[in-house]
Structure 1
Amino acid sequence: MLKIWISKFPDGIYTSNGKIVFCQPCGQKVTCTKFFQLKQHDETAKHKQSLNRYQQATSSSQQPFLTPESFDTEQTDPFVEDLCDALIGANIPFFKINNQSLKYFLTKYTGRHIPDQSTLRKNYLKICYKNSIERIKRHIGNSFVWVSVDETTDPLGRYAANLLVGKLDVSGFYPPNLIAVKMLEKTNFETVSRFVNTGLRDFGVKEENVLLMVTDAARYMIKAGKALSVFYGNMTHVTCVCHALHRVCEEIRGKFPDVDELIANTKKPVLTRWGTWMTAVEYYTTNFYMALF
């Protein structure tokens, strides 16, 4: 029935696999259980604008379109998916796509309808996430891995845990990949252990392939490492030397309250970034009188 409906329109404008109708100019599926619904879509201003751009593009070069065999009932537009992936990769916020100048530029030179930011967030963000996870899985394969977990706070003071997994290979070092982020109500060895175990299980890492775990030297992290070693028998837990040095710096900071007050009343360092307080001390040691006068 759907193929009969689309045959009443110019060839190539609509395609169907017998289950849904896909509008090539608009780059989206058209929900229609009656012919008049398809006709209504065909008469919308958005479709007419997209059709005009589509015809201009196809007149200069043959624009590929989806065949009935290339999509199913959950079909997404490859162009929009790639656009979403590019924005994420370039660290460009989705709301930028609603900028009229940018939208006009992309529409002009691609001949495609540029979706609203909400479309990217609702329909494509999860797809790009799943594709990224699959790429990481293919890269790691059945290799041994090392993991790292860290906890930080966001601007609202909420606790966020991050889990990274890296490939262990004798051929060289491979940068780790972030595979899980979760907001925690509180941070202790139980919440961290559960987060790591769930993240590795969902990612599909074999328990015997986890050889190394790297964390800071916080007490709850050490306790979490001991708890996880029960499940990951081959895992060695290593604490970060930089964190140990940072704790030494924190002890020194506590012994010199006047110096701490000086630094706090000028350019305050980011205390959670290790060594920034000591760097500030070194600066004022050399430039104290210049900064004072």
Structure 2
Amino acid sequence: MPKVSTCSSRSARLRSFVQEFGDKVFSTDGKIFYCKLCGVKVTAEKRFTVQQHCKTFKHGKCLSRLSTKDSRQSLLFKNSSTTSSSSSSSSSASPSSMNNGSEFSKDLCQWMVSSNIPLEKLHNQHFRQFLETYTSHPIPSESTLRKNYLSTCYEDMLNKIRTSVADNKIWVSLDETSDVDGRYIANVIVGTLKQDQPGERFLLDCEVLERANHSTIAVLFDNSMKLLWPNGIQRNNVLLLVTDAAPYMKKAAKGLRILYPKMVHITCLAHALHRVAEEVRGHFPDVDRLVSNGKKIFIKAPLRVQKFKQEAPLLPLPPQPVVTRWGTWLDAVAYYCENYTAIEKMFNGFDSSESTSIKAVKDLFSTTLAQNLAYIKSNFCSISGAITRLEFVGTELCDALDTVKSIENELNRTRGEISDRIKTKIESVLHRNAGYSTLCKIADILSGKLATFEDDTELSPNDLTFFKYAPVTSCDVERSFSKYKTILSDNRRSFKFENLKMHVVINCNCNSEN
């Protein structure tokens, strides 16, 4: 007598359980027995184990909700109802496609991660009760979302990026930083290059580097392209690489050009202007001390803040520039120049014994300081505005390069010994940026001028048309680092990096303004 197949007997048993306990509650694909109300797999080796599941508190609560269900729609998730019968028979469809609860859990995970709401918030009973009340769905636990749905949301996001990029020409921007745990973190941004409008941009990858050097950067770049095009890297579609001016970045880009022959490498022009601004700061130590100590006077000093607002109600508090935040030091100089008399009177009214910063600022006030402020504002503060314009998303290449050339021309018209050093600095910064001259020639061609490429570029005439909205700054990758550090806050340090990576990629791309 022929033996009955174990697989077929198991499939028949599971289908019989579905018929017995109801296809609105359970479903099967012949291998897995799935509770659609609870959103979990159920052991179904025997009828007894199914009955045990039906007696659990969670299942009973879900059944109660099902029996009292009305036409109320979910206020948080559209088109989500308590349960719905599958459009296909339970014997031919998989539980994931039939189960509305799993879709709800996936949407819930996507919503929380993209909104940067910690999944641990699901442990809060008030939050869970609110969701259960207004969605009529059983709310999964934090571990269920993290283990079963986070990776699915991440893969969906990668597929969305791949679909958007497809066969388009692209630009890539990458940079590295260190996080609070001392790891070298590198982010890779990709964006599409279009001929008639700004393209989309995405955070493609976030990885930990063993060390920051040209070798690890080159490997990261190539692996990211494999992630983007898993069926084969389209090397001729990579037209532009934007990085900072670190020597190892330049060395990595030089090596990558062998594999990506059409790729133009440019170092961030906003970084370049910031380095010029730093050169200005270095030549005026007294002004730098004024800016540095001026912001310290009002830190954790509510009485001084109150006095300042009483005596100068229309005057904002002194700015608090950050050296690494491009152009903010020059903005602070402009503030002190415009309000010098009021600031001097205000600071001289403070008691020097209360703070060393007050004493330091009082000692700085002089005719020389006032004249230096006027000189900087008159000749160099326009650099800050240029950096801001370069940071705009969707700027045409010609406009961005005109901004840089305008600053270069303004600096060439300035006078004085210090001015000569600043001119030398900007000339040096732009000269060492090999991709800058290439993009200038491309911009000339797109503007109707003739230009000749001196390097071995392999760009075709049609390739040049895709540079119309090419970026010249690495602002996008810097913004992704800001989001990374926001997610990895002090009370969320227990992240495994693999989970952290998925959180960052989903969050950045769900909230990107393309």
TM-score by length of 1: 0.89
Residue 281 of structure 2 is matched in structure 1 by: 253
1:1-293 map, 5 Å: 1-57=13-69, 63-66=83-86, 68=90, 69-71=92-94, 77-204=102-229, 205-265=233-293, 266=295, 269-288=321-340, 289-290=342-343, 292=347, 293=349
Q: Give, in whole Å, the separation in 2 of the partners of 1:11 and 1:186.
A: 55
Q: Which has the larger radius of gyration?
A: 2
Q: Does the CA contact (< 8 Å) of 1:161 and 1:184 recur in 2?
A: yes
Q: Give, in whole Å, the separation in 2 of the partners of 1:107 and 1:175.
A: 37
Identity %: 41
Q: Give, in whole Å, the separation in 1 of the partners of 2:82 and 2:106.
A: 21
**Residues 243/36 of structure 1: CA separation in 2 closer, same or farther (3 Å cut):** same
**Residues 73/132 of structure 1: CA separation in 2 closer, same or farther (3 Å cut):** closer
Q: Give, in whole Å, the separation in 2 of the partners of 1:121 and 1:256.
A: 53
Q: Give, in whole Å, the separation in 1 of the partners of 2:117 and 2:20.
A: 42
Query: CA shift at 1:200, angstroms?
Result: 0.8
**Residues 49/252 of structure 1: CA separation in 2 closer, same or farther (3 Å cut):** same
Q: Give, in whole Å, the separation in 2 of the partners of 1:193 and 1:125.
A: 29
Residues 257-291 of structure 1: per-residue CA shift (max 9 Å, x gap): 44434444425533332222322333333345526
Q: Give, in whole Å, the separation in 2 of the partners of 1:22 and 1:281.
A: 66
Q: Give, in whole Å, the separation in 2 of the partners of 1:59 and 1:149.
A: 50
Query: CA shift at 1:26, angstroms?
Result: 1.0
Q: Give, in whole Å, the separation in 2 of the partners of 1:118 and 1:282.
A: 52
Query: CA shift at 1:33, angstroms?
Result: 2.6
- Once the two structures are overlaid, the 10-residue window that deviates more, 254-263 or 175-184, is 254-263
Look up the equivalent residue of 1:256 and give its one-letter code: F
Q: Does the CA contact (< 8 Å) of 1:57 and 1:63 recur in 2?
A: no
Query: CA shift at 1:105, angstroms?
Result: 1.5
Residue 453 of structure 2 is matched in structure 1 by: none
What 5-or-longer segments of structure 1 have no aligned partner? Answer: none
Q: Give, in whole Å, the separation in 1 of the partners of 2:210 and 2:332.
A: 33
Q: Does the CA contact (< 8 Å) of 1:106 and 1:114 recur in 2?
A: yes
Q: Give, in whole Å, the separation in 2 of the partners of 1:119 and 1:259.
A: 56
Q: Does the CA contact (< 8 Å) of 2:28 and 2:95 recur in 1?
A: no
Look up the equivalent residue of 1:71 and give its one-letter code: S
Secondary structure at the residue paired with 1:70? coil
TM-score by length of 2: 0.53
Residues 236-275 of structure 1: per-residue CA shift (max 9 Å, x gap): 1111111111112222333334443444442553333222
- Once the two structures are overlaid, the 10-residue window that deviates more, 1-10 or 99-108, is 1-10
**Residues 73/53 of structure 1: CA separation in 2 closer, same or farther (3 Å cut):** closer
Query: CA shift at 1:143, angstroms?
Result: 1.1
Q: Give, in whole Å, the separation in 1 of the partners of 2:334 and 2:33.
A: 68
Q: Does the CA contact (< 8 Å) of 1:19 and 1:73 recur in 2?
A: no
Secondary structure at the residue paired with 1:181? strand
**Residues 285/62 of structure 1: CA separation in 2 closer, same or farther (3 Å cut):** closer
Secondary structure at the residue paired with 1:91? coil
Counting helix residues as a fraction of each chain, which structure ranks higher? 2
Q: Does the CA contact (< 8 Å) of 1:24 and 1:65 recur in 2?
A: no
Structure with bigger RCO (C-alpha 8 Å, 6+ apart): 2
Residues 126-159 of structure 1: per-residue CA shift (max 9 Å, x gap): 1111101111111111111111112223233432
Q: Give, in whole Å, the separation in 2 of the partners of 1:30 and 1:259.
A: 71
**Residues 44/186 of structure 1: CA separation in 2 closer, same or farther (3 Å cut):** same
Secondary structure at the residue paired with 1:186? coil
Q: Does the CA contact (< 8 Å) of 1:54 and 1:112 recur in 2?
A: no
Query: CA shift at 1:65, angstroms?
Result: 3.9
Q: Does the CA contact (< 8 Å) of 2:69 and 2:82 recur in 1?
A: yes
**Residues 132/171 of structure 1: CA separation in 2 closer, same or farther (3 Å cut):** same
Counting strand residues as a fraction of each chain, which structure ranks higher? 1
